[in-house]
Amino acid sequence: EAEQLVVFLDACYSGAAGGRTFASKRTRAVRVDEVFLDRLTRSKGRAIITASRASEVSIELPELSHGLFTHYLVQGLRGAADLDRDGIVSLQEVYQYLEQQVSQKSRAVGGNQHPVMKGELDGMLPLVKVSGR
């Protein structure tokens, strides 16, 4: 039984919910350090982050080759969501980043999309260690 579980859903009307995978040849292994492991062991719980509210359509733009949510999720996990610049991207930072970027970009293209986070977590849940920090 997992102590932490995180689900990301990029689909229209996904906020009503209680497949695309990607891999890059540029993906590098990042050594997990003691700080990351320490933070990981301090958190427990489950969370779902959805691309949009229950009544909203998830926007896809041809120039991105996928949805706004996935675009900003990938950017966030690559380091753009490391809001406190500590070299670790947490679930909470990713959600804040997604909420801001997806909402702004959707308005800029004439849409209305707001990611939603559901669930309960105890502590900050680290997702990735950002290389070079």
**Which domains occur in the chain, in start order?**
4-18+34-129 (3.40.50.1460)
Tokens (6 digits) for 102: 């997806």
Strands 116-122 and 88-90: unpaired
pLDDT band at 80 (very low <50, low <70, confident <90, very high): very high
Q: Return d(Cα 19, Cα 59) in angstroms, integer.
A: 16
> In whole numbers, what is the pLDDT of the chain averaged over residues?
82
For 10-30, write each residue's pLDDT tens digit.
876 555 544 333 334 444 444
What CA–CA distance (Å, rounded) separates 129 from 133? 8
What pTM does this model have?
0.79
pLDDT given at position 110:
94
